Amino acid sequence: MGLSRPQKSGNGVSTRWVSLFCIASFFLGVLVVNRLWSVPELAEKDKEPMLEHQSTTLHQMVNCDTKEASLQAGDIFSQVSQTHDVIMTLDRTISSLEMQLAAARAAKVDSEEGLQVNTESGPEQLKGRRKFFFVMGIITAFSSRKRRDSIRDTWMPKGEELKKLELEKGIIMRFVIGHSASPGGVLDRAIDAEDAHHKDFLRLNHVEGYHELSSKTQVYFSTAVAKWDADFYVKVDDDIHINLGMVGSTLARHRSKTRVYVGCMKSGPVLSQKGVKYHEPEHWKFGEEGNKYFRHATGQIYAISKDLATYISVNRHILHLYANEDVSLGSWFIGLDVEHVDDRSLCCGTPLDCEWKAQAGNPCAASFDWSCSGICKSVERMQEVHQRCGEGDGAIWHTSF
């Protein structure tokens, strides 16, 4: 009955040894597991630089591809832009050549019909044809001698200065008039004598008459474009005030445009009542009573580019003439690709309006009274308007176009 012996299992192994074996197996398993976990961590650490290198390489490749694509896109846009410029240049050249051909044909017809044109032909005509900036035609009548003198005494150069204006500035200025119903009569001889003294007329193959202004305007542009090669052709009434330097600066801004129509654009009512001023006999063409005209430049002053003057010359036999010449001109450009420029400096009022604008640093290109469609009592007031609203007699010589 003393101390009890350790019990043995059925196979003869002591339970103590079994316990020790289990504990040893446990620690061995822990050791093995820790070793297995450490290997993937090292592998992950080794992978990180590789992944970073691959990502950097891929990023560089993408950047290169993107840059190359951007450069290619830029090259394509540049080529497209250059091609567009070339096409536009060719289009302008072709248009210019077509206009020159049409003008030559029209000049031939004009010479046959007796219009005053340059009758030289061939290389000599092209060689001797000088380029001018603009031609200004001042529409006048037989009865307007005092109006012409008031203009000569104010804003229009005369004598040697008129020639100097042509040579140095490329500006042609002429009073525009046709002939009487009896050519060679007293009225025509009076204009001949005035022209011999001043040498500032453009004579048209046209019968004078107030109701023939649309036809006169058409003949003026046709004659002027055949006689002088200019960028612009300007029509002016003989009872408004002009600042030549401002007119030149205004037109110079549009010199690169081929088909441009510059003036004070308006859209007045179509007057159907007979007996009123500016009555429109063809009012029914403009729709219902009370309708307005399409946009067109007011008739006191406007300018058109050479292509448009040539268009009028070439197509004058089929261009419709309305009662009002400014409406007629506007109608000729309906349906054409023409840029209408509404410039309000071409329709300032007389003092105080033009005076205030000049003092504010915005001198007017042209001034007149809307109520009189010109300067009211222009012969008496032209000197006053010139003194108060003029740009200065020397301005034209110091203005660069």
Strand partners, 145: none
Cβ count within 10 A of residue 251:
23
CA–CA separation, 378 vs 269, rounded Å? Answer: 26
Residue bearing the bigger pLDDT, 291 or 47: 291
Query: What is the band of 8 on the pLDDT scale with cuts at 50, 70, 90?
Result: very low
Q: What percent of the chain has pLDDT over 70?
A: 70
Structure tokens at 154: 């104010």
Which 8-state DSSP code applies to residue 295? P
Examine the pLDDT at 11 and tell me if it is beyond 90. Answer: no
The listed range with the strongest mean pLDDT (4-13, 64-73, 334-343) is 334-343
**Tens-place pLDDT, residues 260-287:** 999 999 998 999 888 888 889 999 999 8
Segment among 57-71, 95-109, 379-393 with least mean pLDDT:
57-71
123 contact partners, CB below 8 Å, separation of at least 6? none
Strand partners, 230: 132
**What angle do helix axes 213-227 and 15-113 make, rounded to 10 degrees?**
100
Question: Tell me, what's the pLDDT at 123?
Answer: 42
Structure tokens at 157: 């150069």
Reduce the DSSP state of residue 99 to 3 states and report it.
helix
User: CA distances (Å), 176 to each of 144, 173, 241, 326, in order?
Assistant: 12, 9, 17, 16
**Tens-place pLDDT, residues 47-81:** 455 545 555 554 555 455 555 555 566 667 667 66
**Tens-place pLDDT, residues 177-235:** 999 999 899 999 999 999 999 999 999 999 998 789 999 999 999 999 999 999 999 99
Segment among 89-103, 282-296, 364-378, 379-393 with least mean pLDDT:
89-103
Question: Tell me, what's the pLDDT at 51?
Answer: 47
Examine the pLDDT at 148 and tell me if it is beyond 80. Answer: yes
| Contact status, residue 205 vs residue 115, Cβ threshold 8 Å | yes
Examine the pLDDT at 322 and tell me if it is beyond 50. Answer: yes
Reduce the DSSP state of residue 228 to 3 states and report it.
coil
Examine the pLDDT at 298 and tell me if it is beyond 50. Answer: yes
* Cα dihedral value 151, 155, 159, 161, nearest 10: -170
Helix, strand, coil content of the chain in percent (nearest 5): 55, 15, 30
Question: Tell me, what's the pLDDT at 273?
Answer: 86
Examine the pLDDT at 104 and tell me if it is beyond 90. Answer: no
Examine the pLDDT at 386 and tell me if it is beyond 90. Answer: yes
Residue bearing the bigger pLDDT, 14 or 391: 391
Structure tokens at 64: 């290169």
* Strand 241-242 to 366-367 pairing: antiparallel
Examine the pLDDT at 42 and tell me if it is beyond 50. Answer: no
Examine the pLDDT at 256 and tell me if it is beyond 60. Answer: yes
CA–CA separation, 102 vs 105, rounded Å? Answer: 5
Structure tokens at 347: 């329709």
Question: Tell me, what's the pLDDT at 360?
Answer: 87
261 contact partners, CB below 8 Å, separation of at least 6? 297, 302, 303, 304, 305, 308, 333, 338, 339, 340, 341
Supply the mean pLDDT for the chain.
83
| Helical H segments across 153-302, by residue range | 160-164, 186-198, 213-227, 244-252
Residue 241: which of 133, 355, 360, 341 has the closest Cα? 355
Which 8-state DSSP code applies to residue 299? E
Question: Tell me, what's the pLDDT at 83?
Answer: 75
CA–CA separation, 270 vs 92, rounded Å? Answer: 37
397 contact partners, CB below 8 Å, separation of at least 6? 168, 169
Q: Is the peptide bond before 352 cis (omega within 30 degrees of 0)?
A: yes
Residues recorded for the chain: 401
Question: Tell me, what's the pLDDT at 2?
Answer: 45
Examine the pLDDT at 34 and tell me if it is beyond 60. Answer: no
Question: Tell me, what's the pLDDT at 92?
Answer: 60
Examine the pLDDT at 117 and tell me if it is beyond 90. Answer: no
